[in-house]
Amino acid sequence: MLFRFSSSFLESISTHVDPKLPFISLSKGLELNTLRTMSTIIPRALGNRRQPFVVLSGPSFAVELMNKLPTAMVVASKDNKLASSVQQLLASPNLRISTSSDVTGVEIAGALKNVLAIAAGIVEGMSLGNNCMAALVAQGCSEIRWLATKMGAKPTTLSGLSGSGDIMLTCFVNLSRNRTVGLRLGSGEKLDRIMGSMNQVAEGVSTAGAVIALAQKYKVKMPVLTAVARIIDNELTPTKAVLELMNLPQVEEV
Is 20 assigned a catalytic role? no
Question: What is the structure's pLDDT at 126?
Answer: 97
pTM: 0.93
Active-site residue, from 20, 78, 81, 113: 113
Domain locations along the chain: 1-51, 57-101, 104-246
Class of domain 104-246: mainly alpha
Question: What is the structure's pLDDT at 1?
Answer: 43
Question: What is the structure's pLDDT at 64?
Answer: 96
Which is it for the CA torsion 116, 118, 123, 129, positive or negative?
A: positive
Tens digits of per-residue pLDDT, 73-83? Answer: 999 999 999 99
The segments of the chain whose pLDDT lies below 70 read 1-4
Amino acid at 118: I
The alpha carbon torsion through 122, 124, 129, 130 (nearest 10 deg) reads: 100
Question: What is the structure's pLDDT at 215?
Answer: 95
